């Protein structure tokens, strides 16, 4: 009898602890739900999307979320897509993002930008890691991602947000108490609507850069994990380099990506070599030296659609996306 009471007491204690811990975790966690950099809304918005909503998904770093505009793709073709990308998203985070995405969506195509193949870091700083880990739901894959993303001593905070945000009490605002993950959505479908125009964008002619620079062992491991995952899920994988004014050194890494793609029967396109075809204007279409703004992204997205045979013969149908597209046009024109 005493044993049964002790078990009940332990269960009740654990239940209360879990509820309180979850509440504190939700309130204290960092939230970016408004403005250009509303990563919380974008990641939560994906997890709140209807099951099997998207035919195409985009993964990678900031070059991805500044380049592919799902609302333009929908308007041009009727195909629904989402950009599931984060700042400086390393290949191991891309792999686990894809695993999580494929639990909820069954896309025909997964597009991965290869910028991070040109980086050789074993680990990234907490700012980068928190960006891709904070809004990812708890799972064994999230634990595995934390393990490969940081050295011992920095991993637990990637799994349990409370451990790194517990001192935010004096920073809390009304939004922290009102925030509910289940209510988050992103009408631009993961695309970042950057309207500023840079006067510093410089495009280097890389036609003669043919050397190959070996990628790091960790990047190679996770690139092949991505390839195998897409084969397993019967998802067509496309490796791309979006327009980013690449350097000669970066181009050598992208040549390696092209070689790996060819060896594995994958599509690869470096759009830094196609500025004229896309119609990009360095004085109008870049947010900064390496990221397209909303105007450049429209040009690039339309070119991507026309150049990719998957979108042939697709037609725009009536959809609840029309309101989102109208909102996008309104915001775009307001800033023009």
Sketch the domain layout of the chain as residue ranges. 36-335
Between 290 and 168, residue with greater pLDDT: 290
Query: When comparing pLDDT for 16 and 195, which is higher?
Result: 195
Is-contact 134 29, C-beta < 8 A?
yes
Q: What's 112's DSSP letter? A: E
Q: Give the chain's radius of gyration (CA, Å).
A: 21
CB 58 within 8 A of CB 84: yes
Range in 22-31, 123-132, 297-306, 309-318 with the lowest mean pLDDT: 22-31
DSSP of 14-25, one letter per residue?
HHHHHHHHHHHH
Pairwise CA distance, residues 329 & 188, whole Å:
11
Q: What's residue 37's pLDDT?
A: 72
- Within the chain, where are the H helices? 2-28, 39-47, 62-65, 70-77, 91-104, 126-133, 140-149, 156-159, 162-165, 174-178, 217-233, 248-263, 275-278, 294-307, 321-335
Residue 124 near residue 88, CB atoms below 8 Å: yes
Q: Measure the N-to-C terminal CA separation of the chain; round to a whole number of Å.
A: 74
- pLDDT grade, residue 162 (50/70/90)? low
pLDDT of residue 69: 98
- As a whole number, mean pLDDT of residues 94-98 equals 98
Q: Count the Cβ atoms, other than its own, within 10 Å of residue 207.
A: 8
pLDDT tens digit sequence for 163-220: 676 666 677 777 766 778 888 889 999 999 999 999 899 999 999 999 999 999 999 9
Predicted local confidence at residue 172, as pLDDT: 72
Rounded mean pLDDT of the chain? Answer: 89
Of 34-38, 82-86, 112-116, 272-276, the least confident: 34-38
More confident residue, 237 or 3: 237
Q: What is the pLDDT of residue 17?
A: 46
Higher pLDDT, 233 or 319: 233
119/247 Cα distance (integer angstroms): 13
Identify which of 84, 115, 112 has the alpha carbon closest to the alpha carbon of residue 100.
84
Q: What is the mean pLDDT of residues 251-278?
A: 98
Confidence category of residue 227, pLDDT binned at 50, 70, 90: very high
User: Is the pLDDT score of 15 beyond 70?
Assistant: no
Residue range 36-335 in CATH 3.40.50.1110:
yes
Tokens 């067509």 found at: 236
Q: Given pLDDT bands bounded at 50, 70 and 90, which one contains residue 252? A: very high
Q: Residue 312's pLDDT is what?
A: 84
Q: How many CA atoms lie within 13 A of 284 on its CB side?
A: 9
Q: Per-residue DSSP letters for 244-282? A: ----HHHHHHHHHHHHHHHHTT-EEEEGGG-HHHHT--T
CB atoms within 10 A of CB 277: 11
Over residues 122-154, the pLDDT tens digits come to: 999 999 999 999 999 999 999 999 999 999 989
pLDDT at site 166: 60
Check residue 160 and give its pLDDT. Answer: 85
Q: What's the pTM?
A: 0.92
User: Where residue 225 falls among pLDDT bands split at 50, 70, 90?
Assistant: very high
Q: Which residues pair with 292 in a beta bridge?
A: 286
**∠ at Cα 103 (98, 109), nearest 5°?**
50
Query: Token pair for residue 282?
Result: 């360095």
Phi, psi angle pair for 59, to nearest 5°: -130, 155
């Amino acid at each position: 009898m005493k044993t049964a009471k002790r078990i009940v007491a332990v269960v009740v204690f654990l239940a209360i602890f879990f509820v309180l811990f979850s509440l504190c975790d939700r309130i204290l966690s960092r939230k970016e739900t408004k403005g250009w950099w509303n990563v919380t809304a974008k990641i939560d918005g994906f997890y709140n999307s209807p099951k099997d909503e998207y035919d195409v998904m985009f993964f990678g770093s900031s070059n991805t979320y500044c380049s592919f505009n799902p609302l333009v793709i929908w308007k041009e073709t009727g195909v629904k897509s989402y950009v599931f990308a984060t700042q400086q998203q390393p290949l191991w985070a891309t792999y686990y993002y894809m695993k999580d995405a494929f639990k909820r969506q069954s896309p025909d195509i997964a597009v991965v930008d290869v910028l991070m193949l040109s980086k050789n870091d074993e680990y990234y700083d907490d700012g980068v890691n928190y960006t891709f880990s904070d809004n990812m739901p708890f799972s064994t894959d999230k634990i595995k991602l934390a393990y490969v993303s940081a050295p011992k001593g920095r991993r637990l905070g990637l799994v349990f947000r409370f451990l790194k945000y517990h001192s935010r009490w004096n920073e809390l605002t009304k939004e922290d108490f009102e925030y509910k993950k289940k209510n988050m959505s992103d009408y631009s479908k993961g695309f970042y609507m950057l309207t500023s125009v840079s006067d510093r964008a410089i495009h280097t002619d890389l036609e003669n850069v043919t050397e190959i620079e070996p990628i790091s062992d960790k990047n190679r491991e996770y690139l092949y994990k991505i390839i195998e995952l897409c084969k397993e899920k019967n998802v067509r994988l496309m490796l791309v380099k979006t327009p980013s004014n690449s350097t000669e050194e970066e181009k050598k890494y992208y040549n390696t990506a092209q070689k790996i793609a060819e060896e594995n029967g994958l599509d690869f396109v470096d759009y830094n070599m196609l500025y004229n075809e896309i119609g990009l204007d360095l004085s109008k279409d870049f947010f900064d030296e390496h990221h397209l703004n909303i105007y450049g992204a429209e040009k690039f997205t339309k070119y991507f659609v026309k150049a990719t045979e998957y979108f042939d013969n697709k037609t725009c149908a009536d959809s609840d996306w029309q309101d989102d597209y109208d909102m996008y046009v309104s915001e775009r024109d307001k800033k023009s």
